Amino acid sequence: MKPAIIVSTYPDKKSIIKISNELVKTKTVACVNITKISSIYAWKGKIENTSEYLALFKTTDKNKKILKEKIKSTHPYDVPEIAEIDVTSINKPYLSWLADSTN
């Protein structure tokens, strides 16, 4: 069983909480870490300086395709970030919990 972490940003807490609860309930992810961040980026010819919510979706390799499709289909942004972190090392007890939580 290989772990996977998918990263995305959301414009508000309500949108990330809604999808996170659904993904944990359906066992697509074991958990989602959410934190408020400041983002500076170019969008449509302007420099944006906004607050966003960073989400770390923790799942397994077998669920990552489903997860990415769900993020894409429900995300409020026109161009959502859907980035995968390659996990090369993880402690065994956490991996066991992750696998149990996504079955």
Q: 3-101 sits in which CATH class?
A: alpha beta
Say which amino acid occupies 52. E
- Rounded to 5 degrees, φ, ψ at 39 are -125, 140
Tell me how far apart the alpha carbons of residues 55 and 90 are, in angstroms, rounded to a whole number. 19
Per-residue pLDDT averaged across 37-50, rounded? 96
Per-residue pLDDT averaged across 50-71, rounded? 97
Provide the whole-model pTM.
0.93
Q: Is the pLDDT of residue 1 over 90?
A: no
Residue the block writes with tokens 């972190």: 85
Say what the pLDDT of residue 103 is.
82
Domain ranges, ordered by start, for the chain:
3-101
Tell me how far apart the alpha carbons of residues 73 and 86 are, in angstroms, rounded to a whole number. 23
Q: Are strands 46-60 and 3-10 parallel, antiparallel or unpaired?
A: antiparallel
Per-residue pLDDT averaged across 48-62, rounded? 97
Q: Is the pLDDT of residue 44 over 90?
A: yes
